Structure 1
Amino acid sequence: MLDLKSISDQFDERLSAIKSYDAERSELTLEYRRELEKLKVIDLKSNDTFSSYSGAKFLEPGKLIRPFSFNWKNRHESMQWVDSVLSGIAVGAVDGSQIYSDKNYEIPLAVLQTSRIFNRHTDDGDHKQEIEATIITPDEFEEASVYSFGREYVDARRFTMECESIVRLMKGHEKLYVLLDGALILSHVNVLNTNIRKIYINAIMKLLEASEKTRNPVIGFIDTTMPRDITLMMHFLFGLKKSKLSDTHLFSNLSWGERTAAFISDRDDRRGEEAKSVLDNYGRFRNEIAFFYMRTSNGLPARVEFPSWVHEEGIVDKIADIIRAECIIRGNYPDILMRAHDAAVIRTNEHDLFYGMLESFCKAHGIRINKSAKHFHKTMKR
């Protein structure tokens, strides 16, 4: 049981440190926003001043903030706008979940599940949802040279399965916009072991290649995001002090539906000057991941990532409208992503069902499982 009194005392004792952090962040936000005024109108020639690892580069010329005007008076009118945007437009989404292998059951077995949804928004009901599940067996953990009861390999396999599901959607449909719940720029893999990192890189490369070949955009939607691509770019552009201020705080005053211009990411997530950034592993896609920020909820702006060829084909505004429409349906979050999540998620009681199936399977086939005593007592308390 959590010791709430001790935690409360700790909050009181560390109040000054927490307030100091908040004050510094607020001061930095104001400083950076003052300089941001100089970027009200973007000139692509500014890119000539940037060296590698500049954080970001300009992609869309013109206004930094792209307004979104609407005059809906009620829910009905907003849904009429949604219909005008999505009617006849094919939108897909993929999400996944997992059950990690549990050392309490001795045999390392994990479960992966993905859900993919397709909706062409036509009167004939051209809509489909598919769920796929698979297990990871002990030999697969061993072949990958990973700790069988860790999470990193399972997470990497789940991401691969999600990417493969998106590729199947892309190959099966034309003029499709596919949403992924997460980023296309996988900075977190830089801290992983090489064998795990390769799994992620191979998966994202195949996904980007399929998107380019089919001309079906893959769109990464990141609701809670902390990158510092634009703030690092501003450091180089205006000589500002380097900071840990995230991009989203620069644009926290956006109105609902407003977005920034699109940028090309040149993220510097190297762990040392001699190391590679994650984008250095992306081959010919190294300088081809674009992004913008857009307010879709009452919180900080969301980040939207996509291949840069989307800008070349003039459909960035279309993507922004699709995301706005999806967020109106659900309320603050893309509806199709939430439906993919709801279909894919493996709930707590289903974890118990899986392990019950495992026990029955092992008993039927004479496979011995030595469960831990601690796990037995935890189960009895439920």
Structure 2
Amino acid sequence: MENKLKNCQEILRFITCGSVDDGKSTLIGRLLLDSRSVLADQWAAIEATSTRRGQSQVDLSLLTDGLQAEREQGITIDVAYRYFSTPVRRFIIADTPGHAQYTRNMVTGASTADLAILLLDARKGVVEQTRRHAQIVRLLGIRKVVIAVNKMDLVAYGQEAFERVKQEFLTFAEPLAFRDIVFIPLSALNGDGVVLHGECMPWYTGPTLLELLETVALDEEALNSSFRFPIQLVARLSEENGEERRGAQGRVESGTVAVGDEVILLPAGRRSRISAIETYGGRISQARAGQSVTLVLADQIDMSRGDMIASVAHPPKIDKNFEALVCWFSQTPYDPARRLLIQQTTRCIQGKIDTLSARLDIQTSQLIPSPAQVGMNDLVRMGFKVQQPLAFDRYEDNRTTGSFILIDALTHDTVAAGMIV
């Protein structure tokens, strides 16, 4: 019972992606329906919409295609986040668009995902968008993927078709070096292999999609990485003896920290020790990645929002210059004269794009030097110069301290997101 209660607190974030009409929205709709996560009024609404369209059966994709304009066009054009839970685990789903012109939406959805579900049509196998999505998923640091071979009902639930698609993807994905790849045959339309096995594929003895989502190990990289604590707020704390101490409030983004540990405050470079760790429920002796806490230092050090408390043994890099792979979000093309703010964790500082060296070809993973221009959805390598020292890690080593967004200083629009290399 204790383990079951513990698992109830776990949240698995995953992304679904695939080519247009591979059935992403239908798959998520089936997951929600068969896991009993659809309310009666929601079901009534999509039944009515399906009937109005003259469809012979309920269109499960309407459970995720949330905007009326999208429904009328019959496509999903943005990231639709959905939430559901089972007795074992809670889930956050990012259903991302399959179109090439919405790369920025996929980057947004994948940036916080623990796992990716790539849908393939059992009839078509690996296609151009499959390759593109797999490249982006790997680029965004997702190392666990589920290959959902959908529409098995259209190939008579044949094992031969499933094995053909499986081998085709393994051959393509070998250079990407995913840590875990699991293949599941299913029919999102009919429900086979999604929550229940069904009776149409007795040759498949592996888990259903939901069984795998409930049991896949959560990524422990954040826990095993070096300690990083971006400060969100500095609060005054009253001690029992009447003294006041300053407490750094925020979330442990990676690693662990314990009372007595030596730490360093950045960018100032001042060292101290952790004298107390406060939480809403009282003092604790140790905090780990994902916990929101207040850290009290043994020394009275001046600190503020945007500073970072980190491991002394393995501190992040401190510099005013860095390079990053950037996904351009803005409809306004890149302009070197544009005034920018760089938001990285809780720190927001002025900066500028210093160099534009290459554009990434998603199909080949090759960097094309000296691009003539940068437009929306392009992935480019840029060099940055900031006004004040920034504490950061490579994105490959820490997805939180190695990522940032670019904000137009005049309009405050988010124009790009970057991964430090």
**TM-score relative to the length of structure 1:** 0.25
Structure with the higher fraction of residues in strand conformation: 2
Structure with the higher fraction of residues in helix conformation: 1
**TM-score relative to the length of structure 2:** 0.24
Larger relative CO (CA 8 A, sep 6+): 1 or 2?
1
